[in-house]
Chain A
Amino acid sequence: MKAKKVMLIVIAAMIAVCSVWTLFAPKDLFLDKENRPAASAPKPSVQALFDGTLTEDIEDYLIDRFPARENLMSIYAVICKAMGKTEVNGVYLCDDGYYIEEPGRDKDYGKLVNAVNALEEANPDVHFMVMTPPTAVTVLADKLPDGAYAGSQREDYQKIRASLNEDIAFIDCLPALEDAASAYQVYYRTDHHWTTYGAFAAYLELCREEGFEVPGISDYNLEDVTDSFLGTVDAKVSDPSADPDTITTIDNNVPVTVEFPGHSEETLYNSKYLTERDKYSFFLDNINDRIVITQQEPLPSAKGKTLLVIKDSYANCFVPFLTANYEKIIVLDTRYYMYGASSVIEAEGVTDCLVLYNLNTADTDTGIAGIY
């Protein structure tokens, strides 16, 4: 009886503490791990009350402010692992400490292919390249838990390749990535991006395709800028025993001027992000609708060549390699750039265009609607 009383008092106290804490938590809060602001305070209105959004907003608001939320998520991961699970919250716990997202099913890349084909037809004088790197789930498939659904990126990759216009050069990076994977870490263990080494392997393929000089990794100055990177996939799992990644950057000794919206820099990297959780944003300064990169002293081989890059975030660590090959590179994020790629091609005298989307999100990326 005494035990029961003590237990009930303890649970009642826990409930009381949690509810008071949640109620008095700050209104503006950033959830670092999930890389998003906490749900904002619900706005009561008759309409919201009647269409049910008010109550949903209240629940979201409370959940986001629950005490020790992130630690509780870690408890969840620990319990799942203790139960022998190899999949937690849509993420596979793979060999060698890799966390790889469960792939979606029945993906349709028609929108991307149609947009690129249309853009190419509208700009027949521009040389088009398309690269759709598969993600870790395909390249590192041997690390997945036994029997785990591995998706259909291989088939999708070939389908995309086959349905592009004949004049578009498809940069076949999949074999290159698979080869490189045996020698280098080509994907982050805790993040959904490829590493600089993965991007390098794909870059070599682009060089071969385009007839550029093919460099070796020793031609670059490599620098490990952080060894404590826990990325987005880790955030989904919240596994406390996750092993952080190292971010490596390259320097190809080609001085450039980089015009970001509103300011100009001499580097493609923003080291401010290395102290934050979202460290991949170090490359190309996270999200910008338009960046223009110009060689300070145009290299003879690059002179007169202007490249337009239409891309997702996989390109952010890929673009640094390209600065050696083009006098000018314009990087568009078509999610935010509202004037369309064609207008840029015309105004800037673009000679080459690279479309780069990773296969995991190349079907749903909201930027695709802005390509053509």
Chain B
Amino acid sequence: MVFSSIFFLFFFLPAFFLCYYLVPGKAKNVILLLASIIFYAWGEPKYVILLVISSVVDYINGRMMEKFDGNDRVRKIFLIVSVVINLSLLGIFKYSGLFIDTIDFIPGISINNPNLPLPIGISFFTFQTMSYSIDVYRREVKAEHNFLNYMTYVSMFPQLIAGPIVRYKDVSAELSCRKITFDLASDGFIRFGMGLFKKVIIANGIGLLWDNCLENVGSLSFASAWLGAVAFAFKIYFDFSGYSDMAIGLGKMMGFKYPENFNYPYIADSVTDFWRRWHITLSSWFKSYVYIPLGGSRKGTARTVLNLIIVWGLTGFWHGASWNYLLWGAFFAAVLILEKFVFAKIIEKTPSVVRHIVTIFLILVSWVIFAVEDFSSMGFYLKSMFTFTGGICDGFFWYSLRNYGVILIAATLLSGPLYPELRKRVKGVYWAKCIVFAVLFVISVVFLLKNTYNPFLYFRF
């Protein structure tokens, strides 16, 4: 099920909260778990089994690590079991198709591709359950004894299919006991509404412009190609962060405090800074569970470079089973290494405006690598961005500017901390704020109903 659907907004959600608020404290997890399973099964029921396997495996691993507390070898074995099983699930259901297709390129080899449909959210929940096992192994959290609580953690629907990646230790206390207040719940709802607005109006709206550019790939002018890259940058940010806002908002309505996932990434002044602001729960996952265990930056320059390459290769590949995502990760590895080791001093002396422009430039280029899976189209697209073979500017550019100008301006403003600033400065006028929110909510529903265009991006993750 996706948040931006009529069934979710008008049926699933009201019914869920009615039950959730009515039942007493202990039973809330039962309601949440049941709802989450329905939510996950909606449209693809057979993969619920993967969710259960992943939960059972790591629940048992956690308990076993606790039981053999004194025996580090045994504990390590259970950790390895957890990681191997989770990565196998990912390998089989997410990457096997790509690997088989790639091997088939070798002459004389022909393997039948089973073309397994990607289980929704598998990249998110396997990472969550792995984080649990690793944290238990490191003794950073106690193993969960109550399976109901554990399964609830793995499957809770707000962040199940598109993050944020919530670590067990972030919510372990709330899983057994949480406070729900009117203030928290109403804040949560408003956060949800803002997320819906970002997804349905900004992301879907600007997404049309990007689609138009893709249709014209090969004949794009220089200006149109850059406009398209900007459109994609906004589309993916508002889609993804909108989804995170909705998840965090729903979590609040239930009494959970999920970690933030975005912090105005496009105001970053370096790519290093960008990755502290973009999909924060993912980059911190890789940092804690891959980069630091590999030695981080403490083992000399050569090792640090290698570690960065590994982490960013994996980060890229996590985003989808296609080679362009690996290239995308490699691109960031290269940029981050250069920022850290080659240009660090120069960057320090560079005026802030230039730093921002260079950062945005690099991010826009990276989004084209990310967004165009087919390498020959990607080549055409990048060629349009860096040569004038398609002309400097064309009618399509002005047409797009006319049609998407307002959304582009709104997206630009909302990419910076406009909302928190306004909140700080504009005191009072509560009625006006509430009316604005209600109007935005209604408009979001109207746009949602115009359902001819409502694609969901994250089925690739």
- Residues of chain A at the chain B interface (Cβ within 8 Å): 1-8, 10-12, 14-16, 18-19, 22, 49-50, 52, 55-56, 58-59, 62-63, 66, 69, 72-73, 75-76, 79, 83-87, 89-90, 105, 145-149
Contact = CB atoms under 8 A, between A and B. Distances in A.
B395 A146 contact: yes
Nearest to A53: B43
B450 A50 contact: no
Of the listed residues B9, B10, B398, B443, the one surrounded by the most CB atoms of chain A closer than 10 A to its CB is: B10
Contact of A72 (B402, B406, B407, B449): B449
Given A3-B431, A147-B395, A76 B405 contact: no
Contacts of A76: 446-447, 449-450
Nearest to B450: A76
B441 A11 contact: yes
20 contacts: A2-B430, A18-B10, A19-B14, A56-B43, A59-B5, A62-B10, A72-B449, A76-B446, A76-B449, A83-B407, A84-B405, A84-B406, A86-B402, A86-B403, A90-B452, A105-B215, A145-B402, A146-B398, A147-B395, A149-B396
A15 B430 CA distance: 22
A248 B215 CA distance: 39
B402 A59 contact: no
A151 to B, nearest CB: 12
Nearest to A2: B430
B44 A52 contact: yes
A262 B430 CA distance: 68
Interface of B: 1, 5-7, 9-11, 14, 42-46, 186, 189, 215, 394-400, 402-407, 430-431, 433-435, 437-438, 441-443, 445-447, 449-452
B430 A4 contact: yes
A141 to B, nearest CB: 12
Nearest to B438: A7
A15 B449 contact: no
B205 to A, nearest CB: 9
Chain A interface, DSSP helix/strand/loop, else mixed: helix
Contact of A15 (B10, B406, B431): B10
A12 B14 CA distance: 8
A16 B407 CA distance: 31
A89 B451 CA distance: 10
A7 B407 CA distance: 26
A11 B444 CA distance: 13
Nearest to A49: B45
Given A84-B403, A84-B405, A22 B10 contact: yes
Contacts of A66: 6, 449
Given A3-B431, A147-B398, A63 B451 contact: yes
Nearest to A150: B395
Nearest to B435: A7
Contacts of B403: 84-87
Contacts of A85: 402-404
Nearest to B451: A63
A148 B399 contact: yes
Closest 8 CB pairs of A and B: A147-B399, A147-B395, A7-B434, A3-B430, A83-B406, A19-B10, A55-B43, A52-B43
A4 B5 contact: no
Contacts of B441: 11
Contact of A4 (B42, B434, B446): B434
A314 to B, nearest CB: 25
A255 B12 CA distance: 62
A14 B449 CA distance: 15
Contacts of A83: 405-407
Contacts of B434: 3-4, 6-7
Nearest to A72: B446
Contacts of B404: 85
Contacts of B437: 7
A15 B399 CA distance: 37
Contacts of B445: 72
A109 B46 CA distance: 42
A68 B449 CA distance: 11
- Residue among A1, A73, A75, A90 with max Cβ neighbours from chain B (10 Å): A75
B396 to A, nearest CB: 6
B87 to A, nearest CB: 27
